[in-house]
Structure 1
Amino acid sequence: MNLLTLSQSYDEKKVSPVEIVQQILNKIQQKNPACNAFITVCEEEAFTAARQAEEEIMAGRKRGPLHGVPIAIKDLIFTKKIRTTMGSKVYQNYVPDLDATVVQKCLEAGAILIGKTNTHEFAYGPIGDRSFFGPSRNPYDLEKITGGSSGGSGAAMAANLAYAALGTDTGGSIRIPASACGIVGMKPTFGLVSKYGVFDLAYTLDHVGPMTKTVKDNAALLNLLVGHDEKDPYSFSKTSEDYSRLIGESVKGKVIGLPSFFFQNIEEEVRKAVDQVIDVYRSLGAEIREVAVKGIDEIAEGQRVTIQAEAYAVHEKTMRDHADDLDPEVRERLVMSKEVRGYEYVQVQQRRKHLIDQFNESFHRVDVLLTPTLPIIPTNINQRDVMIGNHAEGVRQALLRLTSPTNFTGNPGLSIPCGFSRGGLPIGFQLIGKHRDEAQLYQFGFVYEQATSMNIDVAGNNAGE
């Protein structure tokens, strides 16, 4: 079952939250040692919450679609009285005294926190194999990466160890593991979801978002997460909105843009899978149009400068006091980040609004942009270089290349599964929209999902078996 199917089963009194939590914990016990999705499993807390949810639901006091639903939270998001490690030795025993705003919202909706999921140390890596607690492993092939940094959340969803998960995304860290693990992942518009109580990686690039099995599940969870939060200086005021409101509407006559930058140097299996996606949309009556995105090279460079400068600002004290405790690769990346000069960072920020406006000119001619999420199939754990045709590229650079530009611009991006490689590894495509246009992305995502029956629940039921 996916999230909304489970919620309906509660309404019909077919199953109980206590039964579901027991099933999930049994699966975690069986599968987590192999895929390493969870750092901390909240067994006692989950049963307590399940008993309360069962009592309330049976008494007709259901709070909404998340009530009684087991969810996983990335171990970068603070949970009160439950350790939050950031995937690092430095914080291996850290227990926050507060819940992040997104956790508060989930708990108030009656969701059940089943555990804290693995993350690339400090979320500073898109691969997912550099955690103090060991790499998260792809349930479709345990020798392959989950992608990162929200790799544990991706693995938990693919292996059916939760009904939904929260991740964070600074350069692609929700969408990368969503693609690599065959699930749906949304990076919302910057500022739409509060970051309060989420350990920083880069102040102006970090996003929190939902990871689910289906598009409708994703919209339901985003509906819960959004809202102005005065405790987050980047949170913008906004009236409430139902992000599922366009789900089920046709895309006939809509225009999909294919930005040329995002189709350069991609593996042939990825290209074929995305070509099939394009054919599906064409068959549904959408117009396909190639577009050139202005300033994309400068945006990519702006993202690099911004993440490095801000990440070192976050970790300057960590590097001074605990450098020897960090993973060598993460430490090396932070050392490199220190090389960004103050004037370079300021110059980028001065140009940023202009570059965002240029990027958004694309939407004068199209409704959404469609791209591969990743240019490559998930690589081996610890692999650091990959050949794309005759083109050699670092794995980290390849994983980030198609997702990170929209962290800099703040545009929403939705990754949706679109098939498998010859080796049985998931492939995903990405839909990018105007700021605050998540509802339309869900509209496009859902019609594809329905047209192809690429219901992620089918794939997930086989993952990790």
Structure 2
Amino acid sequence: MATLLLLLLSLVPAAAAAAYLCCIRRYTGSAAAALHRREPGRPEAGGRSPPRDFWTPRLCGFGLRLFVHVANTAFGQICLLPVLIRLNNFSLMRSLDIREDPTFIPEVTAEVVEDKSEAKSTSDIVKQLTDERSDSASNGFSFKGIKDFLDCYRSGKLTPSQVAKNIIAVLEDSDKSTPPLRAIVQWDREQIMQMAEASTARYRNKSTLSYLDGIPVSLKEDFKVVPYHHRVGTVYLGTEPETEDATVAKKLREAGAIIIGVSNMQELGTGTTGCNPNRYHKTPRNPYKPNHFTGGSSSGPAAAVAAGLCPVAIGTDGGGSVRIPASFCGVVGLKGTFGRISPHGCLPLSYSTVSVGPICTSVADAAIVYSILAEPDPLYPYGLKQPKATLSDMCAPDLKGLKLGVDWTFFKACDAEVLSICEKAVEHLQRLGASVIEVTLPEMEEVRIAHVICILSEMRDFLQPDFNKHFHEMNLDTRASLALASQFTALDYITANRQRTRTMRFLREIFSTVDCILTPAVPCTAPRICESDLSTGSSDLYFTVRSMRFMQLGNLTGIPGLVVPIGYSAAGLPIGFQVMAKWWDEAVLLRIGPKLEEFRYQTKKPSIYYDILA
């Protein structure tokens, strides 16, 4: 029986491959060859057809087990996976003739200018964000954010210690609920209370450390946080408690934040659903629809913020891993410029695509966290020459003077329900005085492939010892992803980084004419969880690649991106909108973000929500 199944598994892809190869012969003929032979300095690129779909089945249960077994045999490596590589166009780099030198790290240096007036302006804006009463307060539901906590502390209504006790009770309840939320996977009562009591004393003595003093915060499990285990979503890493904080954790402590624990994540950051069936983690639930995924890989941070466990969480983003879960869970996600916020103390799974960013209840909160965390880190080599982080014009009443770039062909490559609300959001920004300019984002299919090759090759390289030593302790979908990654060659990787050079050059030209680029956040809403996903996990390459469609440009080139919730599907699932800007220009994103929040007329309360200030 097993032999028959293996035979069928080999024949189906082979037959599909034969049909597919017949269909694409014309594409790989003279026209495509002419398109892909590029001269250095030539900015023109290929046509603007919509992003292509892929051929790959959704695998779970026994099918996933069988596939992973076959994929990691000689037959799988020689026959099965090469077919999948071709069917999903991952061999595209091999047909390109790119002359540009490769860019292995998307670090863009910026002249450091000491501007004390600008620094003061940023401080004034943060004060304004935390002091002013919102004019748009409604009678409906609203997430509790940093300002709500500060109001309670400053008025004496609550102390950080009282809030900490509420959080501990909520953490206990969330894990006992049906189904368990599984947003925070490691927490310690004594640690939480110790930080909270210290903050309470500072408020009593009027000696607070920052606007984050007493604010509950969680960090994704790929950050080192004392005294928790640095498991990174696995069962085999972090066998001993950490004794040294990541840079971000250290800065949060220095700011007086209450670290309530470390958040769940997809194992080793290898997917975008958030599915993680292993015994330490289990799959977190989407607070809006508990039978739907949160998105990944920063699944726990997004779920924790949306469920009210904390108003701020910190994640990492190598392929949309902050922005995708933020969109699916109806909260705000900011991916900083590559190197803007130090990832020192994270497991360096992909050194050229990963950025750090906050997931928050509002753009204002994201701006506050960003202003505290964004600065050079002597322990991290990239971003040392970054300009000072500013929040210029964030509180401007309109968007006059801003030029918003939209590639409508690319923009429309999403579900109709997502497109409808995102188009209306663009119109809303126009009404506020911004001008919308149509731009062309060249070679987005090449960008897609180049990003996949870069992130998977770097992860496979870093995890090779783990793959050999802990293969059977890894989740099935992780093994499948790493097996696929083993198909990429050194030439693939170099060509992908040549493409990175081209794409960064295209973006420099585009940003000379517009201030930002607008897209939907994710082409679809959060997918449903199947029962078998909870026990064996799942592998859905179609969904993974599709969910990253609007994310990969930022990760490949290092530009910043902000995701803001703007509405809901007919089923009540959140829909998000993305703004991307040039390197180091997060200020533009944070100026536009609040205007997008105004577009969402009403915030719906998640099905799972805890009000820890009540």
Task: Label 1:451 to 1:393 Cα distance change in 2 as closer, same or farther (>3 A).
Answer: same
Contact 2:215-2:257 at 8 Å conserved across structures: yes
Aligned partners of 2:384 and 2:605: how far apart in 1?
35
Contact 1:262-1:372 at 8 Å conserved across structures: no
Give 1:420 shift: 0.7
Q: Name the aligned partner's letter for residue 221 of structure 1.
A: V
Matches within 5 A, 1:353-432: 353-382=501-530, 394-432=542-580
Give 1:370 shift: 1.1
**Where does structure 1 lack aligned partners over 5 or more consecutive residues?**
385-391
Aligned partners of 2:370 and 2:204: how far apart in 1?
26
Deviation digits for residues 404-428 of structure 1, max 9, x if unmatched?
Answer: 2210010100000011111111110
SS class of match (1:145): coil
Q: Paired residue for 1:28?
A: 171
Task: Label 1:379 to 1:254 Cα distance change in 2 as closer, same or farther (>3 A).
Answer: same
Q: Name the aligned partner's letter for residue 38 of structure 1.
A: I
Q: Paired residue for 2:17?
A: none
Aligned partners of 1:318 and 1:112: how far apart in 2?
33
Aligned partners of 1:459 and 1:156: how far apart in 2?
16
Aligned partners of 1:459 and 1:71: how far apart in 2?
23
Q: Paired residue for 2:185?
A: 39
Deviation digits for residues 210-254 of structure 1, max 9, x if unmatched?
Answer: 010010100000111111112112233234333365233420232
Q: Paired residue for 1:444?
A: 592
Aligned partners of 2:367 and 2:346: how far apart in 1?
21
Give the structure-2-normalised TM-score: 0.71
Report the structure, 1 or 2, having the larger strand content: 1
Aligned partners of 2:420 and 2:522: how far apart in 1?
13
Q: Name the aligned partner's letter for residue 165 of structure 2.
A: Q
Q: Name the aligned partner's letter for residue 253 of structure 1.
A: G
Give 1:351 shift: 4.0
Contact 1:24-1:161 at 8 Å conserved across structures: yes
Q: Paired residue for 1:17?
A: 160
Q: Paired residue for 2:343?
A: 195
Q: Name the aligned partner's letter for residue 45 of structure 1.
A: Q
Tell me whether 262-271 or 53-62 shows the greater mean CA deviation: 262-271
Q: Paired residue for 1:77?
A: 223
Aligned partners of 1:282 and 1:406: how far apart in 2?
24
Give the structure-1-normalised TM-score: 0.93
Give 1:292 shift: 0.9
Q: Which protein has the larger Cα radius of gyration, Structure 1 or Structure 2? A: 2
Aligned partners of 2:388 and 2:405: how far apart in 1?
28
Give 1:360 shift: 3.0
Alignment length (residue pairs): 456
Contact 1:40-1:115 at 8 Å conserved across structures: yes
Matches within 5 A, 1:304-319: 304-319=452-467
Contact 1:249-1:443 at 8 Å conserved across structures: no
Aligned partners of 1:141 and 1:156: how far apart in 2?
14
Aligned partners of 1:460 and 1:157: how far apart in 2?
12
The CA RMSD over aligned residues, in Å, is 2.1
SS class of match (1:155): helix
Contact 1:71-1:163 at 8 Å conserved across structures: yes
Q: Paired residue for 2:249?
A: 103
Contact 1:138-1:145 at 8 Å conserved across structures: yes
Matches within 5 A, 1:217-366: 217-243=365-391, 246-366=394-514
Give 1:202 shift: 0.7
Aligned partners of 2:337 and 2:531: how far apart in 1?
32
SS class of match (2:342): coil
Q: Tell me which of the two structures has the higher relative contact order, counting C-alpha pairs closer than 8 angstroms and 6 or more residues apart.
A: 2
Contact 2:287-2:607 at 8 Å conserved across structures: no
SS class of match (1:141): coil
Matched, 1:149 2:297: yes
Contact 1:369-1:432 at 8 Å conserved across structures: yes
Matches within 5 A, 1:59-138: 59-91=205-237, 93-132=239-278, 133-138=281-286
Tell me whether 246-255 or 94-103 shows the greater mean CA deviation: 246-255
Q: Name the aligned partner's letter for residue 562 of structure 2.
A: L
Give 1:461 shift: 6.2
Give 1:334 shift: 0.5
Q: Paired residue for 1:3?
A: 146
Q: Name the aligned partner's letter for residue 59 of structure 1.
A: N
Tell me whether 130-139 or 153-162 shows the greater mean CA deviation: 130-139
